[in-house]
Amino acid sequence: MADASFIAWPFFGPEHRELRSKALAIASQSLAGLVDHHDVDGSCRALVAALGRHGLLRHAVTVPDGGRRDRLDVRSLCLIRETLAYHAGLADFAFAMQGLGTGPITLFGSTEQKRRYLPAVAGGKMIAAFALSEPEAGSDVAALACEAVPDGPDHVRISGEKTWISNGGIADFYVTFCRTGEGGGTKTLSAYIVEAGTPGLEIAERIATIAPHPLARLRFDACRVPLQHRIGADGEGFKIAMATLDVFRATVGAAALGFGRRALDEALGHAARRKIFGGTLAGLQMVQGLIADMVADVDAAALMVYRAAWTKDNGAPRVTREAALAKLVATEAAQRVIDHAVQLHGGHGVRVGSKVEELYREIRALRIYEGASEVQKIVIARQALAEHGASE
Protein backbone atom coordinates (compact mmCIF):
# COMPACT_ATOMS: atom_id res chain seq x y z
CA MET A 1 0.00 0.00 0.00
CA ALA A 2 1.18 3.50 -0.84
CA ASP A 3 3.32 5.44 1.60
CA ALA A 4 0.83 7.89 3.15
CA SER A 5 3.26 9.82 5.37
CA PHE A 6 3.00 12.86 3.09
CA ILE A 7 -0.46 13.63 4.45
CA ALA A 8 1.22 14.75 7.70
CA TRP A 9 3.08 17.50 5.81
CA PRO A 10 2.28 21.07 6.91
CA PHE A 11 0.52 21.75 3.60
CA PHE A 12 -2.56 19.95 4.94
CA GLY A 13 -5.20 20.49 7.62
CA PRO A 14 -7.47 17.95 9.35
CA GLU A 15 -10.14 18.45 6.65
CA HIS A 16 -7.63 17.28 4.02
CA ARG A 17 -6.74 14.15 6.00
CA GLU A 18 -10.43 13.36 6.34
CA LEU A 19 -11.08 13.98 2.65
CA ARG A 20 -8.20 11.72 1.62
CA SER A 21 -9.56 8.85 3.74
CA LYS A 22 -12.99 9.34 2.21
CA ALA A 23 -11.61 9.46 -1.36
CA LEU A 24 -9.52 6.35 -0.67
CA ALA A 25 -12.55 4.40 0.54
CA ILE A 26 -14.64 5.47 -2.46
CA ALA A 27 -11.86 4.80 -4.98
CA SER A 28 -11.00 1.36 -3.63
CA GLN A 29 -14.53 0.13 -2.92
CA SER A 30 -17.02 1.84 -5.21
CA LEU A 31 -15.39 2.92 -8.45
CA ALA A 32 -13.17 0.14 -9.81
CA GLY A 33 -16.16 -1.96 -10.86
CA LEU A 34 -17.48 0.88 -13.00
CA VAL A 35 -14.52 0.89 -15.41
CA ASP A 36 -15.01 -1.03 -18.63
CA HIS A 37 -12.15 -0.26 -21.01
CA HIS A 38 -14.27 -1.43 -23.95
CA ASP A 39 -16.96 1.17 -23.22
CA VAL A 40 -15.29 4.40 -22.17
CA ASP A 41 -18.38 6.55 -22.80
CA GLY A 42 -20.58 4.35 -20.63
CA SER A 43 -17.85 4.05 -17.99
CA CYS A 44 -17.36 7.82 -17.82
CA ARG A 45 -21.09 8.45 -17.48
CA ALA A 46 -21.28 5.89 -14.66
CA LEU A 47 -18.16 7.29 -12.96
CA VAL A 48 -19.42 10.89 -13.15
CA ALA A 49 -22.75 9.83 -11.63
CA ALA A 50 -20.99 7.89 -8.83
CA LEU A 51 -18.51 10.70 -8.11
CA GLY A 52 -21.47 13.06 -7.85
CA ARG A 53 -23.43 10.70 -5.61
CA HIS A 54 -20.47 10.26 -3.25
CA GLY A 55 -19.95 14.04 -3.00
CA LEU A 56 -16.45 14.13 -4.50
CA LEU A 57 -17.39 16.33 -7.47
CA ARG A 58 -18.35 19.11 -5.07
CA HIS A 59 -14.60 19.61 -4.60
CA ALA A 60 -14.03 20.13 -8.35
CA VAL A 61 -16.99 22.45 -8.88
CA THR A 62 -18.07 25.19 -6.51
CA VAL A 63 -21.79 25.25 -5.88
CA PRO A 64 -23.48 28.51 -4.98
CA ASP A 65 -24.84 27.45 -1.61
CA GLY A 66 -24.73 30.60 0.44
CA GLY A 67 -20.96 30.91 0.28
CA ARG A 68 -20.14 27.74 2.23
CA ARG A 69 -17.75 26.65 -0.50
CA ASP A 70 -17.33 29.56 -2.85
CA ARG A 71 -13.83 28.80 -4.13
CA LEU A 72 -11.88 25.79 -5.28
CA ASP A 73 -9.49 24.27 -2.74
CA VAL A 74 -6.62 23.10 -4.89
CA ARG A 75 -5.18 20.80 -2.22
CA SER A 76 -8.50 18.94 -2.11
CA LEU A 77 -8.56 18.70 -5.90
CA CYS A 78 -5.01 17.34 -5.90
CA LEU A 79 -5.61 14.82 -3.12
CA ILE A 80 -8.68 13.46 -4.88
CA ARG A 81 -6.95 13.28 -8.28
CA GLU A 82 -3.91 11.55 -6.80
CA THR A 83 -6.10 9.00 -5.03
CA LEU A 84 -8.35 8.29 -8.01
CA ALA A 85 -5.41 8.01 -10.42
CA TYR A 86 -3.75 5.50 -8.09
CA HIS A 87 -6.81 3.25 -8.43
CA ALA A 88 -8.26 3.95 -11.89
CA GLY A 89 -7.12 6.45 -14.53
CA LEU A 90 -10.59 6.76 -16.02
CA ALA A 91 -12.07 7.74 -12.63
CA ASP A 92 -9.47 10.50 -12.33
CA PHE A 93 -10.30 11.63 -15.88
CA ALA A 94 -14.05 11.75 -15.17
CA PHE A 95 -13.45 13.77 -11.99
CA ALA A 96 -10.93 16.20 -13.48
CA MET A 97 -12.87 17.05 -16.62
CA GLN A 98 -15.95 18.06 -14.62
CA GLY A 99 -13.68 20.58 -12.92
CA LEU A 100 -11.80 21.82 -15.99
CA GLY A 101 -15.02 22.09 -18.02
CA THR A 102 -16.67 24.26 -15.38
CA GLY A 103 -13.49 26.09 -14.23
CA PRO A 104 -14.25 29.19 -16.34
CA ILE A 105 -17.82 29.33 -14.94
CA THR A 106 -16.65 28.74 -11.37
CA LEU A 107 -14.03 31.48 -11.67
CA PHE A 108 -15.74 34.03 -13.96
CA GLY A 109 -19.37 32.99 -14.58
CA SER A 110 -22.47 35.07 -13.91
CA THR A 111 -24.81 34.16 -11.07
CA GLU A 112 -27.27 32.78 -13.61
CA GLN A 113 -24.60 30.61 -15.32
CA LYS A 114 -23.43 29.27 -11.97
CA ARG A 115 -26.99 28.44 -10.97
CA ARG A 116 -27.77 26.70 -14.26
CA TYR A 117 -24.65 24.54 -14.63
CA LEU A 118 -22.66 24.10 -11.42
CA PRO A 119 -25.09 22.18 -9.19
CA ALA A 120 -25.91 19.77 -12.03
CA VAL A 121 -22.21 19.13 -12.79
CA ALA A 122 -21.37 18.77 -9.09
CA GLY A 123 -24.21 16.28 -8.72
CA GLY A 124 -22.93 14.18 -11.64
CA LYS A 125 -26.08 14.93 -13.64
CA MET A 126 -24.43 17.01 -16.37
CA ILE A 127 -21.09 16.49 -18.12
CA ALA A 128 -18.80 19.46 -18.86
CA ALA A 129 -16.04 20.05 -21.43
CA PHE A 130 -13.33 22.67 -22.01
CA ALA A 131 -12.93 23.43 -25.73
CA LEU A 132 -9.74 25.40 -26.32
CA SER A 133 -7.41 23.53 -28.71
CA GLU A 134 -7.82 23.70 -32.47
CA PRO A 135 -6.16 21.86 -35.35
CA GLU A 136 -3.78 24.84 -35.81
CA ALA A 137 -3.67 26.16 -32.23
CA GLY A 138 -2.87 24.02 -29.18
CA SER A 139 0.13 25.36 -27.32
CA ASP A 140 -0.18 28.74 -29.07
CA VAL A 141 -3.52 29.88 -27.68
CA ALA A 142 -3.13 33.34 -29.22
CA ALA A 143 -3.46 31.69 -32.67
CA LEU A 144 -7.09 30.53 -32.11
CA ALA A 145 -9.23 30.90 -35.25
CA CYS A 146 -12.70 29.69 -34.19
CA GLU A 147 -14.80 32.87 -34.34
CA ALA A 148 -17.99 34.27 -32.84
CA VAL A 149 -19.65 37.04 -34.85
CA PRO A 150 -22.67 39.12 -33.72
CA ASP A 151 -26.09 37.93 -34.89
CA GLY A 152 -28.66 40.51 -33.89
CA PRO A 153 -28.52 42.28 -30.52
CA ASP A 154 -28.60 39.18 -28.29
CA HIS A 155 -26.75 36.38 -30.10
CA VAL A 156 -23.49 35.35 -31.75
CA ARG A 157 -22.81 32.75 -34.41
CA ILE A 158 -19.81 30.49 -33.74
CA SER A 159 -17.91 28.87 -36.60
CA GLY A 160 -14.73 26.84 -36.60
CA GLU A 161 -13.17 23.63 -35.26
CA LYS A 162 -11.94 22.39 -31.92
CA THR A 163 -9.92 19.23 -31.43
CA TRP A 164 -8.56 16.96 -28.66
CA ILE A 165 -11.64 17.88 -26.64
CA SER A 166 -11.98 15.64 -23.60
CA ASN A 167 -15.56 14.51 -22.99
CA GLY A 168 -16.20 15.36 -26.65
CA GLY A 169 -19.24 13.33 -27.65
CA ILE A 170 -20.63 12.83 -24.13
CA ALA A 171 -20.60 16.38 -22.74
CA ASP A 172 -23.81 18.32 -22.13
CA PHE A 173 -22.01 21.62 -22.80
CA TYR A 174 -18.68 22.89 -24.10
CA VAL A 175 -16.95 26.02 -22.78
CA THR A 176 -15.68 27.21 -26.15
CA PHE A 177 -12.97 29.83 -26.68
CA CYS A 178 -13.53 31.99 -29.78
CA ARG A 179 -12.12 35.00 -31.56
CA THR A 180 -14.52 37.95 -31.13
CA GLY A 181 -12.53 40.86 -32.52
CA GLU A 182 -10.11 41.96 -35.19
CA GLY A 183 -6.36 41.66 -35.06
CA GLY A 184 -5.58 38.24 -33.58
CA GLY A 185 -3.53 37.85 -30.39
CA THR A 186 -4.66 37.36 -26.81
CA LYS A 187 -6.93 40.40 -26.36
CA THR A 188 -9.75 39.44 -28.74
CA LEU A 189 -10.73 36.02 -27.39
CA SER A 190 -13.96 35.30 -25.50
CA ALA A 191 -15.45 32.21 -23.84
CA TYR A 192 -18.96 30.95 -24.63
CA ILE A 193 -21.00 28.08 -23.24
CA VAL A 194 -22.29 26.02 -26.17
CA GLU A 195 -24.80 23.35 -25.21
CA ALA A 196 -24.75 19.94 -26.90
CA GLY A 197 -27.59 19.75 -29.38
CA THR A 198 -27.19 23.37 -30.52
CA PRO A 199 -27.89 23.30 -34.26
CA GLY A 200 -24.61 23.48 -36.20
CA LEU A 201 -22.51 21.77 -33.47
CA GLU A 202 -21.31 18.43 -34.75
CA ILE A 203 -18.98 15.74 -33.38
CA ALA A 204 -16.79 15.58 -36.49
CA GLU A 205 -14.60 12.71 -35.31
CA ARG A 206 -14.05 10.55 -32.26
CA ILE A 207 -10.31 10.26 -31.53
CA ALA A 208 -8.84 6.98 -30.27
CA THR A 209 -5.75 7.16 -28.03
CA ILE A 210 -3.42 4.66 -26.34
CA ALA A 211 -5.22 5.14 -23.00
CA PRO A 212 -8.80 5.45 -24.25
CA HIS A 213 -11.13 8.11 -22.91
CA PRO A 214 -13.88 10.15 -24.59
CA LEU A 215 -12.10 12.54 -26.96
CA ALA A 216 -13.34 14.28 -30.11
CA ARG A 217 -12.93 16.85 -32.82
CA LEU A 218 -15.86 19.29 -32.90
CA ARG A 219 -17.17 21.34 -35.81
CA PHE A 220 -19.16 24.55 -35.27
CA ASP A 221 -21.13 25.67 -38.30
CA ALA A 222 -22.70 29.06 -37.55
CA CYS A 223 -23.98 27.84 -34.14
CA ARG A 224 -26.37 30.44 -32.74
CA VAL A 225 -25.56 31.08 -29.09
CA PRO A 226 -27.13 33.69 -26.75
CA LEU A 227 -24.86 36.50 -25.58
CA GLN A 228 -25.91 35.52 -22.06
CA HIS A 229 -23.76 32.41 -22.55
CA ARG A 230 -20.59 34.46 -22.74
CA ILE A 231 -18.42 33.96 -19.65
CA GLY A 232 -16.95 37.22 -18.34
CA ALA A 233 -16.50 40.23 -20.58
CA ASP A 234 -15.84 40.32 -24.31
CA GLY A 235 -12.08 39.92 -24.89
CA GLU A 236 -11.40 38.22 -21.54
CA GLY A 237 -11.15 34.72 -23.02
CA PHE A 238 -7.35 34.35 -22.85
CA LYS A 239 -7.23 35.47 -19.23
CA ILE A 240 -10.10 33.09 -18.38
CA ALA A 241 -8.36 30.15 -20.06
CA MET A 242 -5.02 30.88 -18.38
CA ALA A 243 -6.54 31.43 -14.92
CA THR A 244 -8.42 28.12 -15.25
CA LEU A 245 -5.24 26.35 -16.28
CA ASP A 246 -3.43 27.95 -13.31
CA VAL A 247 -5.77 25.98 -11.04
CA PHE A 248 -5.91 22.73 -12.97
CA ARG A 249 -2.29 22.35 -14.12
CA ALA A 250 -1.08 21.47 -10.63
CA THR A 251 -3.84 18.86 -10.47
CA VAL A 252 -2.50 17.18 -13.62
CA GLY A 253 0.74 16.85 -11.64
CA ALA A 254 -1.31 15.26 -8.84
CA ALA A 255 -2.77 12.67 -11.21
CA ALA A 256 0.74 11.89 -12.45
CA LEU A 257 1.78 11.50 -8.82
CA GLY A 258 -1.01 8.96 -8.28
CA PHE A 259 0.11 6.96 -11.31
CA GLY A 260 3.73 7.17 -10.12
CA ARG A 261 2.91 6.02 -6.59
CA ARG A 262 0.97 3.07 -7.97
CA ALA A 263 3.90 2.10 -10.23
CA LEU A 264 6.29 2.34 -7.29
CA ASP A 265 4.05 0.09 -5.19
CA GLU A 266 3.71 -2.43 -8.01
CA ALA A 267 7.51 -2.41 -8.41
CA LEU A 268 8.15 -2.84 -4.68
CA GLY A 269 5.73 -5.76 -4.47
CA HIS A 270 7.21 -7.43 -7.52
CA ALA A 271 10.82 -6.87 -6.38
CA ALA A 272 10.05 -8.46 -3.00
CA ARG A 273 8.36 -11.52 -4.53
CA ARG A 274 10.36 -12.24 -7.68
CA LYS A 275 13.02 -14.94 -7.18
CA ILE A 276 16.28 -14.48 -9.05
CA PHE A 277 19.91 -15.73 -8.71
CA GLY A 278 19.08 -17.53 -5.45
CA GLY A 279 17.47 -14.47 -3.84
CA THR A 280 14.88 -11.85 -4.79
CA LEU A 281 15.02 -8.90 -7.17
CA ALA A 282 14.89 -6.63 -4.12
CA GLY A 283 18.23 -8.03 -2.95
CA LEU A 284 20.07 -6.78 -6.03
CA GLN A 285 21.85 -3.46 -5.60
CA MET A 286 21.06 -2.43 -9.15
CA VAL A 287 17.36 -2.86 -8.36
CA GLN A 288 17.77 -0.95 -5.09
CA GLY A 289 19.32 1.89 -7.08
CA LEU A 290 16.27 2.01 -9.34
CA ILE A 291 13.93 1.92 -6.37
CA ALA A 292 15.78 4.80 -4.70
CA ASP A 293 15.45 6.85 -7.91
CA MET A 294 11.72 6.10 -8.02
CA VAL A 295 11.17 7.08 -4.37
CA ALA A 296 13.10 10.33 -4.89
CA ASP A 297 11.07 11.16 -8.00
CA VAL A 298 7.75 10.49 -6.25
CA ASP A 299 8.64 12.60 -3.21
CA ALA A 300 9.94 15.49 -5.32
CA ALA A 301 6.77 15.43 -7.41
CA ALA A 302 4.58 15.42 -4.31
CA LEU A 303 6.42 18.41 -2.84
CA MET A 304 6.05 20.41 -6.05
CA VAL A 305 2.36 19.56 -6.47
CA TYR A 306 1.31 20.35 -2.92
CA ARG A 307 3.50 23.47 -2.74
CA ALA A 308 1.64 24.84 -5.80
CA ALA A 309 -1.74 23.86 -4.37
CA TRP A 310 -0.97 25.33 -0.93
CA THR A 311 0.28 28.58 -2.51
CA LYS A 312 -2.94 29.00 -4.50
CA ASP A 313 -5.13 28.11 -1.51
CA ASN A 314 -3.31 30.66 0.61
CA GLY A 315 -4.41 33.49 -1.59
CA ALA A 316 -1.70 34.01 -4.21
CA PRO A 317 -3.43 35.81 -7.11
CA ARG A 318 -1.25 34.08 -9.74
CA VAL A 319 0.48 30.68 -9.36
CA THR A 320 1.47 30.34 -13.01
CA ARG A 321 5.10 29.52 -12.18
CA GLU A 322 4.37 27.13 -9.29
CA ALA A 323 1.67 25.33 -11.28
CA ALA A 324 3.95 25.03 -14.31
CA LEU A 325 6.75 23.62 -12.14
CA ALA A 326 4.36 21.16 -10.49
CA LYS A 327 3.02 19.88 -13.79
CA LEU A 328 6.43 19.68 -15.46
CA VAL A 329 8.25 17.98 -12.58
CA ALA A 330 5.46 15.58 -11.60
CA THR A 331 4.55 14.35 -15.08
CA GLU A 332 8.16 13.89 -16.18
CA ALA A 333 8.98 12.15 -12.86
CA ALA A 334 5.98 9.81 -13.14
CA GLN A 335 6.98 8.86 -16.67
CA ARG A 336 10.45 7.82 -15.40
CA VAL A 337 9.02 5.97 -12.38
CA ILE A 338 6.56 4.02 -14.53
CA ASP A 339 9.25 3.19 -17.08
CA HIS A 340 11.44 1.79 -14.26
CA ALA A 341 8.47 -0.22 -12.96
CA VAL A 342 7.93 -1.74 -16.40
CA GLN A 343 11.64 -2.59 -16.62
CA LEU A 344 11.61 -4.26 -13.19
CA HIS A 345 8.64 -6.38 -14.22
CA GLY A 346 10.52 -7.76 -17.24
CA GLY A 347 8.21 -9.42 -19.76
CA HIS A 348 5.22 -8.99 -17.45
CA GLY A 349 5.73 -5.23 -17.71
CA VAL A 350 4.70 -5.15 -21.35
CA ARG A 351 2.03 -7.80 -21.12
CA VAL A 352 -1.32 -6.36 -22.21
CA GLY A 353 -3.59 -6.09 -19.18
CA SER A 354 -0.87 -5.83 -16.51
CA LYS A 355 -1.19 -2.81 -14.22
CA VAL A 356 2.20 -1.34 -15.13
CA GLU A 357 1.44 -1.73 -18.84
CA GLU A 358 -1.79 0.23 -18.26
CA LEU A 359 0.10 2.93 -16.32
CA TYR A 360 2.69 3.14 -19.12
CA ARG A 361 -0.11 4.05 -21.54
CA GLU A 362 -1.95 6.29 -19.06
CA ILE A 363 0.94 8.58 -18.15
CA ARG A 364 2.04 9.58 -21.64
CA ALA A 365 -0.71 12.09 -22.46
CA LEU A 366 -0.18 14.00 -19.21
CA ARG A 367 3.13 15.36 -20.53
CA ILE A 368 1.17 16.79 -23.48
CA TYR A 369 -2.29 17.99 -22.46
CA GLU A 370 -3.13 21.18 -20.53
CA GLY A 371 0.18 22.62 -21.65
CA ALA A 372 2.95 20.35 -22.91
CA SER A 373 6.18 20.10 -20.90
CA GLU A 374 7.73 22.53 -23.39
CA VAL A 375 5.01 25.12 -22.66
CA GLN A 376 5.67 24.77 -18.92
CA LYS A 377 9.36 25.37 -19.61
CA ILE A 378 8.51 28.56 -21.56
CA VAL A 379 6.41 29.79 -18.63
CA ILE A 380 9.09 28.96 -16.03
CA ALA A 381 12.01 30.41 -18.02
CA ARG A 382 10.13 33.61 -18.90
CA GLN A 383 9.36 34.28 -15.28
CA ALA A 384 12.90 33.54 -14.14
CA LEU A 385 14.30 35.86 -16.82
CA ALA A 386 11.81 38.60 -15.97
CA GLU A 387 12.66 38.39 -12.27
CA HIS A 388 16.30 38.98 -13.14
CA GLY A 389 15.44 41.91 -15.41
CA ALA A 390 16.53 39.95 -18.47
CA SER A 391 14.40 40.28 -21.61
CA GLU A 392 13.82 37.40 -24.02
Backbone angles phi, psi at 173, to 5 degrees: -155, 155
In single-letter form, the type of residue at position 392 comes to E
Pick the catalytic residue: 82, 236, 362, 370?
370
Candidates 85-93, 251-259, 282-290, 369-377; binding stretch for ligand COS (CB under 6 A) = 369-377
Of the two residues 101 and 123, which places its CB atom closer to ligand COS in the complex? 101
Which of positions 279-308 make contact with ligand COS (CB under 6 A)? none
User: Which is closer to ligand COS, CB of 132 or CB of 342?
Assistant: 132
CB-nearer residue toward ligand COS: 22 or 382 = 382
| Segment contacting ligand COS by CB under 6 A, of 6-14, 273-281, 375-383, 384-392 | 375-383
Q: 165 to 204, contacts with ligand COS by CB under 6 A?
A: 186
Could you tell me the smallest distance in angstroms from the CB atom of residue 333 to ligand COS?
A: 19
CB 80 → ligand COS: shortest distance, Å?
A: 19
Q: Is 132 in the site for ligand COS (CB under 6 A)?
A: yes
Considering the complex, what minimum distance in angstroms separates the CB of residue 318 from ligand COS? Answer: 6
Asked if 59 and 98 count as a contact pair (C-beta separation under 8 A), the reply is no
CB of 104 to ligand COS, least distance (A): 12
Among 207, 242, 295, 380, binds ligand COS (CB under 6 A): 242
Q: Within 13 Å of residue 193, how many CA atoms lie on the same side as its CB?
A: 28
Beta carbons within 8 Å of 18's beta carbon, 6+ residues apart: none
Q: Tell me the per-residue interface mask from 137 to 156 with ligand COS, x by CB under 6 A, - otherwise.
A: -xxxxx--------------
| Smallest gap from residue 281 Cβ to ligand COS (A) | 39
Of the pair 161, 246, the CB lying nearest ligand COS is at 246
3-state secondary structure the chain: CCCCHHHHCCCCCHHHHHHHHHHHHHHHHHHHHHCCCCCHHHHHHHHHHHHHHCCCHHHCCCCCCCCCCCCCCHHHHHHHHHHHHHHCHHHHHHHHHHHHHHHHHHHHCCHHHHHHHHHHHHCCCCCEEEECCECCECCCHHHCCCEEEEECCCEEEEEEEEEEEECCCCCCEEEEEEECCCCCCCCCEEEEEEECCCCCEEEEEECCCCCCCCEEEEEEEEEEEEHHHEECCCCCHHHHHHHHHHHHHHHHHHHHHHHHHHHHHHHHHHHHHCEECCEEHHHCHHHHHHHHHHHHHHHHHHHHHHHHHHHHHCCCCCCHHHHHHHHHHHHHHHHHHHHHHHHHCHHHHHCCCCHHHHHHHHHHHHHCCCCCHHHHHHHHHHHHHHHCCCCC
Tell me how many residues contact ligand COS (CB under 6 A).
Answer: 22
Nearer to ligand COS, 147 or 322 (CB): 322
Tell the smallest beta-carbon distance from residue 278 to ligand COS (Å). Answer: 50
Using CB under 6 A as the binding rule, whether residue 236 contacts ligand COS is answered as: no
Region near ligand COS per CB under 6 A, out of 1-9, 212-220, 240-248, 298-306: 240-248
| Residue of 76, 188, 320, 331 interacting with ligand COS (CB under 6 A) | 320
373 binds ligand COS (CB under 6 A): no
Is residue 370 part of the annotated active site? The answer reads: yes
Active-site residues, by number, are 370
- Catalog residues that contact ligand COS under the rule CB under 6 A: 132-133, 138-142, 186, 238-239, 242-243, 245-246, 318, 320, 369-371, 375, 378-379
